[in-house]
Copies of this chain bind each other. A is one copy, B any other.
C-alpha cells in the first residue's frame, strides 16, 4: 500500500471518529485552537476560563507532545474535573491531536453525560499537521503571534484556509517587530477569504472582550 493511501485511510478513519465525537459532545459547542508553539493559546484560555467559569460549564482538552504543564495552569481557573491533558508522546510522539485522542479526553471530562456549554481543544503547537485532522469541533481557530511575522499565512496556507477565526496575538509587541497588521490581514484574506480576525494582547487586555463576545455569541446561536 502506498504511503499516500495509508495517509488517506488514516484521515478517513479519523473523520468517522470525529463524527462520533460530535455526537458525544451532547450539545456542547466545540472549538479547536491551533497555532505555532508559544503563540499564547494557554494564556488566552486561562483568562477565558476565569471570565466565564461562573456562567458557563467549559471543558478543555489540552494537547502537548510532553508534560502536563498546560493542564496544571488551567486547573487553577477551572471547575473541578473539566480539564484533561493529552500527551501525544504516549500515542507514538504525534505532532497533532487526532479524533481518537480527543474521544479519550471527552470521556475523561465526563462526556457524553455531563452537560457542557463549551469544550475547547488546545491542539499541539504546530502550524501544519493539526490542519488535516478533524476532531469533531464546530469551529477551528488559528492564532498567529506578531513575533512570528506577517508572512506566515502564505507559508502555511492549509491551516489558515481551514480556520473560521484568526486571532493575531501579542499585539503589545507590535512596536518591537516589523510585523505589519495590514500585510497580515491581506495575507490572511488571500488564503482564508473573508473571515473574522481579532487583534489580541492577553497582557494588555486589548481585543479580549471581542474574543469573549465572539465566544458567547457562538454559544447563544449554536443550537448544537
Contacts and interface: CB of A to CB of B under 8 A. Distances in A.
Interface string A133-177: 000000000000101110110111110000000000010110010
Contacts of A1: 1, 6
A52 interface: no
Contacts of A127: 37, 125-126
Nearest to A64: B155
Interface residues of A, number: 39
Number of copies: 2
A156 B125 CA distance: 9
A89 B69 CA distance: 33
Nearest to A132: B93
Nearest to A158: B93
Contacts of A7: 92
Contact of A173 (B3, B64, B128, B173): B173
A155 B85 CA distance: 12
22 contacts: A1-B1, A1-B6, A36-B37, A37-B148, A37-B155, A37-B156, A38-B148, A38-B152, A64-B155, A66-B154, A66-B155, A67-B151, A67-B154, A93-B128, A93-B158, A95-B126, A125-B156, A126-B127, A126-B129, A128-B129, A129-B129, A147-B147
